[in-house]
Chains A and B, each alone.
Chain A
């Protein structure tokens, strides 16, 4: 089946630095990629929707200048957490749903820890 590869799986960074998370669709073209964040013991919260070749759509309360999303090709979407702070520490997951397909394919997730 389709696979979405997310990298890195874990990252620890210093406060104030930036971190880039990549999400690749390995055997299908993902025109849309959803980016989620999950805090401990909470559900997945949609942060933004990236569309290939256009600007991402951000959910209310998500700072677009802090969470930069780029979807430059049909197989790659990236999320960059800029000027990271400890409160940005979370589990970030990408998902590439396919219309007409029964599954929304998830990346492996990225555990971000900002110290």
Chain B
């Protein structure tokens, strides 16, 4: 079956760095997305990786290892507004998104 695993909840301090991990098992693979979702709102796009390696975009970076079925989202210089759920989603061979349950990130002052 297809499966995405990510931690349920993480806590970090304002100004610090946090890494949110995601492992996946899918039928075929056409890339991996990271989305941010604030409560009651639709997800917003953060990153997309299809090749191995690290992609940096401002304070956010995303890493992918296809051989290990593993990705992480790295958030630097955390701000209070970064408190949200972070969803990992893998794209299968039919271009459907297989979603993780999301990681709730709590930022403390």
Additional A-B contacts beyond A32-B95, A106-B42 (9; CB < 8 A): A43-B87, A43-B99, A46-B99, A93-B43, A97-B91, A104-B89, A104-B97, A106-B44, A108-B41
Q: Does B84 touch A at the CB level, under 8 Å?
A: no
Which of B33, B96, B104 is in CB contact (< 8 Å) with A46? B96
Q: Does A67 touch B at the CB level, under 8 Å?
A: no
The answer to whether A99 touches B40 (Cβ under 8 A) is no
The answer to whether B101 touches A43 (Cβ under 8 A) is yes
Task: Give the number of residues in B that approach A within 8 Å (Cβ atoms).
Answer: 20
**A43 / chain B contacts, CB cutoff of 8 Å:** 87, 99-102
**B40 / chain A contacts, CB cutoff of 8 Å:** 91, 111
**B48 / chain A contacts, CB cutoff of 8 Å:** 102-103
List the interface of chain B (C-beta within 8 A of A): 31, 33, 40-45, 48, 87, 89, 91, 95-97, 99-102, 104
**Distance in Å from the Cβ of A3 to the closest Cβ of chain B?**
12
**A46 / chain B contacts, CB cutoff of 8 Å:** 96-97, 99
Determine the distance from Cα of A21 to Cα of B91 in the docked complex, in whole angstroms.
Answer: 25
Residue on B nearest A102 in the bound complex, by CB: B48
Residue on A nearest B94 in the bound complex, by CB: A49
Can you list 19 A-B contacts with CB-CB less than 8 angstroms, sorted by A residue number? A34-B97, A43-B99, A43-B100, A43-B101, A44-B43, A44-B87, A44-B99, A45-B99, A46-B96, A46-B99, A91-B40, A93-B42, A97-B95, A103-B45, A103-B48, A104-B89, A106-B42, A108-B42, A109-B41
Q: Does A42 touch B at the CB level, under 8 Å?
A: yes
The answer to whether A104 touches B33 (Cβ under 8 A) is yes
**Distance in Å from the Cβ of A71 to the closest Cβ of chain B?**
16
**Distance in Å from the Cβ of A22 to the closest Cβ of chain B?**
15
Residue on B nearest A105 in the bound complex, by CB: B45
User: A1-13 vs B: 1/0 string, CB under 8 Å?
Assistant: 0000010000000
User: A75-115 vs B: 1/0 string, CB under 8 Å?
Assistant: 00000000000000001010101010011101111010000
Residue on A nearest B47 in the bound complex, by CB: A102
Determine the distance from Cα of A46 to Cα of B4 in the docked complex, in whole angstroms.
Answer: 14
